[in-house]
Amino acid sequence: MRLFLLLLLFLPVLLACSAAPYSSTVELSASADVRELTVLYSNDEHGWMEGREPGLGAAGLLGLWREKEGYLENGPFLLLSGGDHWTGPAISTWFEGEGMVEVMNAMGYDATAIGNHEFDFGLDNLEQRVRQANFPYLAANIQWRASETLPIELGILAYTTTVVNDLTIGIIGLSTINTPSTTNPINIADLVFLDYEPVLRETVKQLEALGPDLIFVVSHVCMAALRPLAVAVADLNISLMGGGHCNELVAEKVGETILLESNGHFRSYARAHFEYDLGRDSLINSSFSVEHNEAGSRDESVAQIVEKWRAATEVELSAVLGFSSREYPANDDRLQRAVIESWLQIDSTAELAINNRLALRAPLPRGEVTLADVVGLLPFENTIVAVELSGAEVLQVIAAGQRPFVAGLIRTENDWLLAKTGRIIDTGETYRVLINSFMYEGGAGYDAIAEYDSAGFDTEIHYRQPLVDWLLEQASTPGQPLALP
């Protein structure tokens, strides 16, 4: 009986000892099957490797990722971009994006979508930049117009796969269907940009044959289009869609799909974290947030690359053109007016000049104004084109175009008056009008101009040169600073 009682006393202990290893083994097995992944997402970098403000550029952002996220030091990461990498300040624009790709290589980007401004310097330059990159450029919805095939000759891919922390990730790219009106149309005349949903469905079908654990989309597409797209393709089990083009700061969930977008220029980033159970072949947890680029210690390797390109820019573009006692933002009417009124000085026979307002991309700074500043202000490879338009056609262009800014006309409550004569514009009279070549090719909704005058005269004068000449003529100094009317 005593032995029986002893056994009864020790039985719970014996059972606990025998059960504990089994329970622990189950937990360890489950834990061993779970894999984590963090996505860091940026878009619309636009050449701002130095940052809009000192210390808030690429080097500071990489330092922040290391310190705040443990990037490259603690845990598995994917670094993705929504495109538009290089058209912006002179440090990138003047060298047609070469420095930006070097910076993004050093930061460790894994894949990017193709933005509309990747085409700004032509297809040959795009191919050079893609070949230079250590990461793929993706756009499943771009095809050659003639052959209806993906332009792999340029290095463009529809998707890529990568393995991170034992997870196979399929990444699909999309480029905005508005590209023909948001880069110089002549640069992409041989390409077509297809609707997102049919292409995405077909590409996911191709990708699924490779058995990815997770499917992501990187896109140069605004949230206004990306949100309904996520709803429309909810059945495709896409875990993440990154956007671009509209520079929105977004981290949210639509159905089971996380949507991310930063507000561009390395000012911020969006992040998503995933936990995936390999044993169950299922995503078990995810989270998302947006973060600002602030308080990060700069990464010295990236800082050295930026400094190299800063020095190269100063060698070529440090000439001082004048001095301003204040900064003029790009959307300031006085700066807009100074740009296109300088065009009228190169052609005394022209009565009018029209520019798309978004052609100006950076402020005219306070202090010394250099050639580099003007390149950043007017970064595109446009020339000035002279066209002959009737008064009625001028009014139609102003009404239909994307946010035009006009010189040579004065707006009253009911009419447009000619600045030279003070008379109301005559709808039946013909006027000589100066525009930029982007507009003449149909960019920003100005398709009608070439239809009105198919024999427009390309002056072959770069659209920034008249402003350079005008600034020099002002001979402004700290004692007599520039004053825009």
Is 209 within a domain?
A: yes
Share of the chain above pLDDT 70, in %: 93
pLDDT digits (tens), the chain, 485 positions: 333 333 333 334 333 333 333 332 333 335 689 999 999 999 999 999 999 988 899 999 999 999 999 998 767 999 999 999 999 999 999 999 999 999 999 999 999 999 999 999 999 999 999 999 999 999 999 999 999 999 999 999 999 999 999 999 999 999 999 999 999 999 999 999 999 999 999 999 999 999 999 999 999 999 999 999 999 999 999 999 999 999 999 999 999 999 999 999 999 999 999 999 999 999 999 999 999 999 889 999 999 999 999 999 999 999 999 999 999 999 999 999 999 999 999 999 999 999 999 999 999 999 999 999 999 999 999 999 999 999 999 999 999 887 899 999 999 988 999 999 999 999 999 999 999 999 999 999 899 999 999 999 999 999 999 999 999 999 999 999 998 97
**Is 483 within a domain?**
no
What domain range includes position 143? 33-308
Buried b (16+ CB within 10 A) or exposed e, 411-432: eeeeebebeeeeeebeeeeebb
Task: Please indicate, yes or no, whether residues 266 and 342 belong to a single structural domain of this protein.
Answer: no
Integer angstrom CA distances of residue 476 from 153, 367, 383, 401: 49, 10, 26, 35
* Residue that finishes a domain, picked among 308, 343, 368: 308
Residue 6 lies in a domain: no
261/381 same-domain check:
no
Tell me what pLDDT residue 2 has: 38
What's residue 413's pLDDT?
87
State which amino acid sits at residue 86: W
Pairing outcome for strands 77-81 and 34-42? parallel
Question: Are residues 265 and 349 both part of a single domain?
Answer: no
Boundary (domain end) residue, out of 287, 308, 329? 308
Backbone dihedral angles phi then psi of residue 334, each to the nearest 5 degrees = -65, -40
What CATH code is carried by the domain that includes residue 323? 3.90.780.10
Q: Are residues 189 and 328 in the same domain?
A: no
Rounded-to-integer distance, Cα 437 and Cα 415, Å: 28
Please report whether residue 13 resides in a domain.
no
Asked if 293 and 322 sit in the same domain, the reply is no
CATH number reported for the structural domain that contains residue 155 in this entry: 3.60.21.10
Domain count, the chain: 2
Residue the block writes with tokens 């504990």 = 20
Residues 421, 279 share a domain: no
- 296 and 388 housed in the same domain: no
pLDDT on residue 27: 38
Does 185 reside within a domain? yes
Query: Do the beta carbons of residue 292 and residue 298 sit within 8 Å?
Result: no
Q: Please tell me whether residues 403 and 445 are part of one structural domain.
A: yes
Question: Could you tell me if 138 and 178 lie in one domain?
Answer: yes
In a shared domain, residues 331 and 244: no
Is 304 part of any domain? yes
Q: Which among 273, 308, 343 is the end of a domain?
A: 308
Residue that the structure tokens 């005593």 belong to: 2
Pair 327, 354 in one domain: yes
331 and 284 assigned to the same domain: no
From CA 204, how far away is CA 436, in angstroms rounded? 41
